Amino acid sequence: MSRDAPERGWAVDCYLGGAEPLPTGTPLDGALGGGLMPGVTVLGGVASAGKSAIACQAAASVASRGLRVLYLTLDDAWGNVVARCMSSWSVAHAASYGAGPFSWSQLPEMRRRWRDLCDADRSRVAYEGRDAALMAARAWDEGPGRRLAVVDSVTEIGQVEDILRDLRDAGEPPALVVVDYLQQYQAGSPDVDRAEYSRVSDVAARLQRVALWGGTPVLALSSLRKLAKGEDDPTLDWFRGSGVVGYSAWAACVLTRGRAEGPGWREAVLHVVKNKGGRSGTRTSCELWGGYSYAGRMRDQEG
């Protein structure tokens, strides 16, 4: 009540000035009612469920719209995250650089072929645009690559807090922060870090506070605890380490494997177990193209 008097009334200003969701270009948009709201959205799943694929797709999509993205990872190397983001981006933007999309999982083989060429052949291949990854990399460096920062050396949540505060104070806050993944970060206190429950609780709660303070959407990936046989309906208690992971978040989703599959893709099911900005308890199926770090709309399998 110590704030200045509102222009149109407290409730009217709250309604008209409310935050809009950030579209991610992924199935999260439809599941969460438009995208990510300021605060932490937790995306959980077992190993290889597709969490990082959706995270890379979201990072690439937001950066391609000219917005800053900060991708924090202790689960992968800097170069691999960039390759996965670029591969996902190539699916939607191949026409813009004159070559088809490329699979990040095939990059080692593509590099070997490139190295085996003589200088003249390399020049010809590059000139003719027959190396899709090279064409995409050049376009990526001139566009989304300038707006995506990948950091794989930060290990404590206190460092994350400092980075976000410094960026905000400098007038350059990221439009999206990805944390891959939450359980790998430390609290920075030996007493807290000694036990997984206290460590994960502290990291999750502090990440939510700094996200809300800065008005920043944060997509935090999470592993799941070992599930008992017959546990088929995801809940907030599925996240590993502490119930605080889900209970402190703005929204929480769990990614599971579906039954359908095809050449290069498989069905993934996104379960919304918490959503302060809309409906929860929903399921959204999508086609997960793991080799491209891309999740798309589920097509009619009968057509």
pLDDT tens track for 44-98 = 998 889 999 999 999 999 999 999 999 999 999 999 999 999 999 999 888 887 7
Give the H or E element holding residue 28. helix 27-32
Per-residue pLDDT tens digits for 245-281: 999 999 999 999 999 999 999 999 999 999 998 899 9
- Mean pLDDT for all residues in the chain: 89
Q: Strands, E, within the chain: which ranges?
A: 39-45, 69-73, 148-151, 176-180, 217-222, 251-262, 265-275, 282-289, 294-297
Distance CA 55, CA 81 (A): 10
Poorest-confidence range of 106-120, 234-248, 281-295?
106-120
H or E stretch covering 95: helix 78-97
Q: What confidence tier does 303 reach under pLDDT thresholds 50, 70, 90?
A: very low
pLDDT score, position 2? 55
pTM of the full predicted structure?
0.90
Q: What's residue 125's pLDDT?
A: 60
Compute the average pLDDT of residues 222-227. 91
Interatomic CA distance for residues 252 and 271, integer angstroms: 9
First to last CA, the chain: 59
Give the C-alpha separation, 231 to 273, whole Å. Answer: 14
- The pLDDT score that the predictor gives to residue 122 is 62
Is it true that the peptide bond before 97 is cis, omega within 30 degrees of 0? no
Which amino acid is residue 118, in one-letter code? Answer: C
Going by pLDDT thresholds of 50, 70 and 90, the confidence category of residue 135 is confident
Of the candidates 48, 10, 300, 58, which has an alpha carbon nearest to the alpha carbon of residue 178? 58
Residue 302 pLDDT:
42
pLDDT over 80 (residue 124): no
Point out which residues pair with 288 in neighbouring strands: 266, 295
